[in-house]
Amino acid sequence: MHVGGAEGSDRRDFPLPSQRSNRRRRFGTCCRQKRVAAQRPAEDGRGSEGDNFRWRRATESTAARSGSIKKQARLPVRTLADVLHGEDQNFRKLVSLLSELSFQIVAEIPRSLGTTEGVNIYGETQTAIDVWSNELLTKKLIKSGLVNQVASEELDEPLQGVHGEFAVVLDPLDGSSNLKTDNLVGTIVGIYHDTKLPAKGRDLLSALYFLYGPYVEAVLALKDATYISVGAGKGSGYERFLTSGDPHRLPGKGSIYGIGGSKRKWIPELKEFVESLETRKLKMRYGGSFVGDYNQVLLNGGFFAYPELLDAPEGKYRLQFESNPVGFITEKAGGKASTGRGAVLDVEPTSIAQRVPTYLGNKDLVLEYEDLLKKQGTTER
C-alpha cells in the first residue's frame, strides 16, 4: 500500500498523539464547565448560602484548571476564623480545638470499625469509634483549660474540669451505626458559658455540628446567625474551614422531608401530615444519621423529625446532646424547632438523659404540624 503523501493515496490522516491529547483536554474542560453551569444557583438569588458557596468554589476550581482566569482574579473565600474574628478569644480557641479534633475523628474512622462489648447509659451497643471519639473529645476538652464541664451521650455523668468558663455537651459520633454501610456520620456540640448541666437550650452560647461525608462540613450557630463551612483549607483548627462568610438561611420553600421511627408506630396525625407533604411534592430523604438527614433540610428547606411514637411518646433524641444543639442551629437559620407542644429550646431539663420528640425545619411546616396536633387534641396526651 502506498504510504506517501501523493495525490490519490488512500492514507487516512490520523491525529498525532499530541493532537489527541489536546482534544481530550479541550473535551474535559468543556464537560467540567457544563457540569458547573448546571450547578449554578438560581439567578433570582433564592439559592441557599451553601449552594452559592459551593457553586462559587466549583467555578473557581474549574476556571483555574482550564487556565481561563489569572491567580489574582480568584473569588474571595474566608475561613471560619474570619467569621469568629470579633468573638471572645477563649471561645475562638474552643471552636478551633473542636475543628481540629473533627479531622482526627475522620482519620480514625477507617481504623476503628467494629463494635465493643460495652453499652452506653441508654442500653445502646457502642462501636469502637464511639468509644475512641468520646475519649478523644472529653479528654482534650478538659485538658484545654477552657472547659469546666463536659457531658457526653456516652457518659453516665458530666466530667468536671478544674479550670475553664465553658460547659460543653456532646454527641461524639452521631449515626455511628451507619458506618457498617459507609454512610454519613457526624459530631454534635453545644456550648454554654458558665452554666451548670443539664441546661435549657435557650441558654446556649453556640452550637455546631461536623458532618463527615465526601468532605468535612462544619455548621456553626452563633447568637444571631448560622454559618456553613467546608474543611478544604490549609492551616490548622478553624482556619481549615472555608466559608463565604454569609449567614445561611433556610430556603423559603421546603422540598425535602425526613422522619425517623417505624411508620407503623407513627401517630395518626403524623401519617396525615406526611400525606399532605407528599401531595405538595416534598421528597422523602432519610438515612438514619441525625446530622446527615437534617443537613439536607437545612440546605434544601423542609421538615425533619424524630417524632412521638405510639410506644415511645418521648421520641428518641436526647434533649441535651441532640435536640437542643440542632434546634439552636435551626432557629438561628430562620427555622423552627418544636417538641410538638412548644419550642425545644424552652424545655426545662429534668435529667442529662432526657428525651423529647423533635420537629425541625421551615417555620410554616413546623407550625402547621403543631396546629394539626392541637386540632386533634394530641398535645393533651
Contact (Cβ atoms closer than 8 angstroms) between residue 364 and residue 308:
no
Alpha carbon 228 to its chain centroid, in Å, reads: 8
Give Cα separations from 232 to 182, 188, 237 (angstroms). 21, 20, 12
Cell (9 digits) for 264: 407503623
Contact (Cβ atoms closer than 8 angstroms) between residue 123 and residue 88:
no
Phi and psi at 342, nearest 5°, equal 165, 180
One-letter amino acid identity for 305? A
One-letter amino acid identity for 217? E
Q: How does pLDDT run across 235-277, given as a tens digit for each residue?
A: 899 999 999 999 999 999 999 999 999 999 999 999 999 999 9
Q: What is 256-380's CATH number, 3.40.190.80, 3.20.20.10, 3.30.450.20, 2.40.30.10?
A: 3.40.190.80
Count the neighbouring beta carbons within 10 Å of the beta carbon of residue 229.
28
Do 256-380 and 80-243 fall under one CATH topology? no
DSSP string covering 94-119: HHHHHHHHHHHHHHHGGGS-SEEEEE
pLDDT of residue 275: 98
What are the extents of the domains in the chain? 17-76, 80-243, 256-380
Rounded to 10 deg, the angle between the 268-279 and 363-376 helix axes is 140
Q: How far apart are CA 340 and CA 372, in angstroms?
A: 9
pLDDT of residue 185: 97
- Find the range with the poorest average confidence among 233-247, 319-333, 349-363, 365-379: 365-379
- In this predicted structure, the answer to whether residue 367 has a pLDDT above a threshold of 70 is yes
Contact (Cβ atoms closer than 8 angstroms) between residue 215 and residue 102:
no
In the block, cell 425545644 appears at: 344
In the block, cell 408506630 appears at: 265
Cell (9 digits) for 71: 491567580
Count the neighbouring beta carbons within 10 Å of the beta carbon of residue 96.
20
- In this predicted structure, the answer to whether residue 198 has a pLDDT above a threshold of 50 is yes
In the block, cell 426545662 appears at: 348
What is the β-pairing status of strands 166-174 and 125-127? unpaired
**What global pTM score does this model have?**
0.81
Length of the chain as a residue count:
381
Three-state DSSP class for residue 236: coil
- Find the range with the poorest average confidence among 21-25, 66-70, 78-82: 66-70
Cα-Cα-Cα-Cα dihedral of 222, 226, 231, 233, to 10°? -80
80-243: in CATH 3.30.540.10:
yes
Q: How confident is the model at residue 22 (pLDDT cuts 50, 70, 90)?
A: low
Q: How does pLDDT run across 130-185, given as a tens digit for each residue?
A: 999 999 999 999 999 999 999 999 999 999 998 999 999 999 999 998 998 999 99
Three-state DSSP class for residue 166: strand
